Amino acid sequence: MSAAHLEIMLVGATTAAACALLGTFLVLRRLALISDAISHSILLGIVAAFFLVRDLNSPLLVVGAALVGVLTVWLIELVVKTRRVANDAAIGLVFPVLFSIAVIIITRAASDIHLDTDMVLVGQIDFVPFDRLAILGIELPRALWAMGAILIINIIFITLFYKELKLVTFDTGLAAALGFMPVLLHYAIVTLTSITAVGAFDAVGSILVVALMIAPPATAYLLTDRLGAMLLLSAVIGVLSAAIGFWPARWLNVSTAGMMVVVTGVFFLLALVLAPTRGLLPQWLRRRRQRWEFAAQLLSVHLLHHENTPHEAYECSHAHLETHMRWSPEYANRVLGFARRHGWVRCDDERLHLTERGRETALLMLVRS
């Protein structure tokens, strides 16, 4: 692995961590699509600032993009407050307009500028090693310096306001009552999201920005219920997606940013299927077990009702289950096997007997019903 390869992965990993940390709060507050709106609309801020200063490296481009990002969220909320359209529709109305205005301005006022899908959508992360900047004698890709600084800012912000962000995220009303100014924190998150998006825009493009702000937090959400753990998992999943996605892209000669997005999707699908609590497979296994458990409990109640009665020999026989419980022989055998494995029932030839544990289970089910 060459130094250039390492630098590309470092830029991707740093961008992933910076995006995933803020994306966690966007996902939890059901504002995930705001990242999509901001990542597109900031182009208008970049264009406006560029025509003002005529310098692609000017920090005013970040300021302009951040301001347009905040403007985007404000316009979306303004449209939602009319109560004529829903939040998702407002997002779909506002950011395409701002993005289109930026494209029109570039087309009319800067037709000699090359604007294509690689630059806007998937970026140029493979070329970041060629644009370098030396600080204190250390020469690294400019994108790495920028995203490293943004990552540090995001970490400091989340660390300083962790309790406030947690309260605002899960109970906005209580946060307002306690004087935590949820609106101010909301726009602080939006501003940092805009800064993070514009910092990553040139290197990785808008698609990867959106994917890294949504996919890792959504994946982490399936794995944990704790905010601190979710933040850590989001960052780790984002970093792994960037590091792992680089190599298939190199081997297959495809877009590096695009492959990183694919890896985030793979991580999400794995969590969706295999997550211990919310995964589809564990939930299916739990429902399957609960079905057999409920049937075995019904069997225990049936045996308890007929225990020590004149008809016990008939009612508590294996063959009678098919008639009284209306179970097929195969289903009855599987239920009986489940009950025996859990120590609720024992068999004596064709006779079924409750164990002490089975009797407790049957009584508990009767009390609950």
Query: Which has the closest alpha carbon to 205: 145, 268, 116?
Result: 116
Residue 49 shares a structural domain with residue 153: yes
SS3 274: helix
What's the CA gap between 141 and 134, in Å, rounded? Answer: 8
Residue 72 shares a structural domain with residue 86: yes
Residue 234's pLDDT is what? 95
What's the CA gap between 82 and 92, in Å, rounded? Answer: 15
Residue 14's pLDDT is what? 93
Residue 287 shares a structural domain with residue 332: yes
SS3 217: helix
Residue 350's pLDDT is what? 72
DSSP track, 83-124: TSS-HHHHHHHHHHHHHHHHHHHHHHH-TTS---HIIIIITT
Can you give the CATH number for the domain in which 331 is found? 1.10.10.10
Query: Cα 70 from chain centroid?
Result: 23
- 267, amino acid identity: F
What's the CA gap between 285 and 291, in Å, rounded? Answer: 10
Residue 220 shares a structural domain with residue 326: no
State the angle between helix axes of 3-28 and 162-170 in degrees (0 to 180), rounded to the nearest 10.
50
Distances (CA, A) of 101 to 22, 44, 93, 342: 27, 7, 13, 68
Q: End of a domain among 277, 304, 331?
A: 277
3-state secondary structure 251-267: HHCCCHHHHHHHHHHHH
What's the CA gap between 178 and 63, in Å, rounded? Answer: 32
Q: Which two tokens stand for residue 52?
A: 């003002």
What does residue 112 show for φ and ψ, rounded to 5 degrees? Answer: -85, -5
What's the CA gap between 48 and 63, in Å, rounded? Answer: 11
- 144, amino acid identity: L
Residue 268 shares a structural domain with residue 288: no
Helix-, strand-, coil-residue percentages of the chain, each rounded to 5: 80, 5, 20
Query: Which has the closest alpha carbon to 259: 244, 241, 245, 240?
Result: 245
Residue 292 shares a structural domain with residue 151: no
What's the CA gap between 198 and 205, in Å, rounded? Answer: 9
Residue 263 shares a structural domain with residue 288: no
Burial of 76: CB neighbours in 10 Å, binned 0-12, 13-18, 19+: buried
User: Where in the sequence is the domain holding 104, given as residue range(s)?
Assistant: 3-277
Q: End of a domain among 242, 277, 312?
A: 277
Residue 214 shares a structural domain with residue 243: yes
What's the CA gap between 26 and 190, in Å, rounded? Answer: 9
Residue 246 shares a structural domain with residue 325: no
Can you give the CATH number for the domain in which 18 is found? 1.10.3470.10
Residue 187: partners with Cβ closer than 8 Å, 6 or more residues away:
70, 73
Reported pTM: 0.82
Residue 222 shares a structural domain with residue 288: no
Q: End of a domain among 261, 277, 293?
A: 277
SS3 349: coil
Residue 123's pLDDT is what? 65
Residue 114 shares a structural domain with residue 165: yes
Query: Which has the closest alpha carbon to 45: 97, 119, 102, 95?
Result: 102
What's the CA gap between 13 and 6, in Å, rounded? Answer: 10
What is the chain's Cα-based Rg? 29
Residue 117's pLDDT is what? 45
Q: Is the dihedral of CA 21, 24, 26, 32 positive or negative?
A: positive
Residue 160 shares a structural domain with residue 269: yes
How many domains would you assign to the chain?
Answer: 2
HSE-CB at 364 with a 13 A cutoff on CA atoms is 9
Q: What is the pLDDT along the chain (369 residues), one digit of tens a residue?
A: 688 888 889 998 999 999 999 999 999 988 888 887 887 888 888 888 888 887 766 778 778 888 888 888 889 888 888 888 887 788 888 888 888 888 788 777 665 555 544 555 556 787 888 878 888 888 888 888 889 999 999 999 999 999 999 998 888 888 788 777 888 888 888 888 888 888 887 667 777 788 889 999 999 999 999 999 999 999 999 999 989 998 888 888 887 888 888 999 999 999 999 999 899 999 999 998 888 888 888 888 888 888 888 877 777 777 777 777 778 888 888 888 888 888 888 887 778 888 888 888 888 888 876
